[in-house]
């Protein structure tokens, strides 16, 4: 009897804590969305709602927003090729070597973004045409997100008996490319989609490295966000955040749906 009461109490406490955490995570999001739609934050809801601030942000920052979408798309495409080839290569490598290589490719995740950005600048910053071009940012994003694509695809490759399938295809005369494209890749389709979603969301929100990599000609969405937060009224910052949420939340929801087994691994 006493035992049952304690465990019910503990349950209640855990539920309370969980709800409190959920509020902590969601209240500021809701508030920032509402503020972005308010006529005036100081007066609150009474002054009414409008899309004025959203329009202002689109006018002022559409270049940065589009550039981010463009870079994120290219990052996904490039990493689909690089990451899949890499995972396939690692699969075929002897275990000790594969472990060491994998470890090496994950290093950019452990490096603080600002260090990576600085390293890029001291190496290639003097190449003026490259430095001020968006491809300078693209290269950084490809490097930083490659491990995520690699992990997502490799985990699924290793969970299946692709060796057997490949052997069967080989005995029927399929060459290495044919086996990769027609046997291995169709079996990793979900992982490639999950990896792409992850890479896209990471690229579109990347700031730590991009702040150093961007130039006045190539501001990205998060760089514009930081600028709006620092210099403009809170309604504009909120409206900009709202636009970012509109872009990113569907992707995050899609990731949760795909979730399932590789979710922990795709992070």
Q: How far, in Å, CA of 183 to CA of 48, rounded?
A: 58
Question: Quick one: tokens of 267?
Answer: 């992070």
| CB 88 to another protein: min, Å | 5
DSSP H helical segments within the chain, as ranges? 2-37, 52-92, 95-110, 113-124, 128-131, 134-159, 162-171, 176-179, 185-187, 189-205, 210-213, 221-231, 234-258, 263-266
Tell which positions 196-225 bind another protein, by CB under 8 A: 198, 201-202, 205-208, 211-212, 222, 225
The residue (of 8 and 55) whose beta carbon lies closer to another protein is 8
| CB 59 to another protein: min, Å | 20
Which of residues 80, 155, 236, 239 is near another protein by CB under 8 A?
A: 155
Choices 31-39, 52-60, 127-135, 185-193 (CB under 8 A): range interacting with another protein:
31-39
Choices 14-22, 51-59, 127-135, 186-194 (CB under 8 A): range interacting with another protein:
14-22
For helices 52-92 and 221-231, give the axis angle rounded to 10 degrees: 140
Residue pair 251/197 in contact (Cβ under 8 Å)? The answer is yes
Task: Give me the 92-131 binding string for another protein, x by CB under 8 A, dash otherwise.
Answer: xx-------xxxxxxxxxxxxxxxx-xxx-xxx-------
The yes or no reply on residue 244 touching another protein (CB under 8 A) is yes
Residue pair 203/71 in contact (Cβ under 8 Å)? The answer is yes
The yes or no reply on residue 133 touching another protein (CB under 8 A) is no
| CB 72 to another protein: min, Å | 12
The yes or no reply on residue 14 touching another protein (CB under 8 A) is yes
């Amino acid at each position: 009897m006493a035992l049952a009461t304690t465990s019910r109490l503990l349950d209640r406490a855990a539920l309370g804590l969980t709800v409190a955490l959920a509020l902590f995570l969601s209240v500021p999001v809701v508030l920032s969305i509402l503020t972005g739609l308010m006529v005036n934050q100081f007066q609150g809801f009474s002054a009414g709602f409008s899309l004025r601030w959203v329009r202002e942000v689109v006018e002022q920052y559409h270049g940065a927003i589009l550039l981010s979408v463009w870079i994120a798309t290219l990052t996904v495409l490039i990493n689909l090729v690089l990451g899949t080839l890499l995972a396939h290569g690692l699969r075929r490598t002897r275990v000790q070597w594969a472990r060491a290589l994998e470890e090496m490719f994950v290093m950019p995740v452990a490096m603080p973004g600002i260090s990576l950005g600085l390293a890029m600048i001291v190496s290639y910053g003097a190449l003026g045409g490259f430095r001020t071009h968006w491809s300078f940012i693209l290269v950084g994003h490809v490097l930083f997100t490659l491990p995520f694509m690699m992990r997502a695809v490799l985990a699924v490759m290793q969970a299946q008996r692709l060796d057997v399938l490949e052997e069967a295809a080989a005995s029927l005369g399929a060459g290495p490319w044919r086996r990769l494209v027609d046997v291995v890749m169709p079996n990793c389709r979900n992982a490639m989609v999950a990896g792409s979603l992850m890479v896209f969301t990471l690229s579109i929100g990347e700031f730590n490295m991009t702040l150093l990599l961007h130039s006045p000609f190539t501001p990205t969405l998060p760089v514009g966000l930081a600028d709006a937060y620092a210099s403009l009224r809170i309604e504009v910052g909120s409206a900009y955040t709202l636009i970012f949420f509109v872009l990113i939340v569907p992707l995050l929801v899609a990731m949760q749906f795909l979730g399932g087994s590789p979710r922990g691994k795709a992070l």
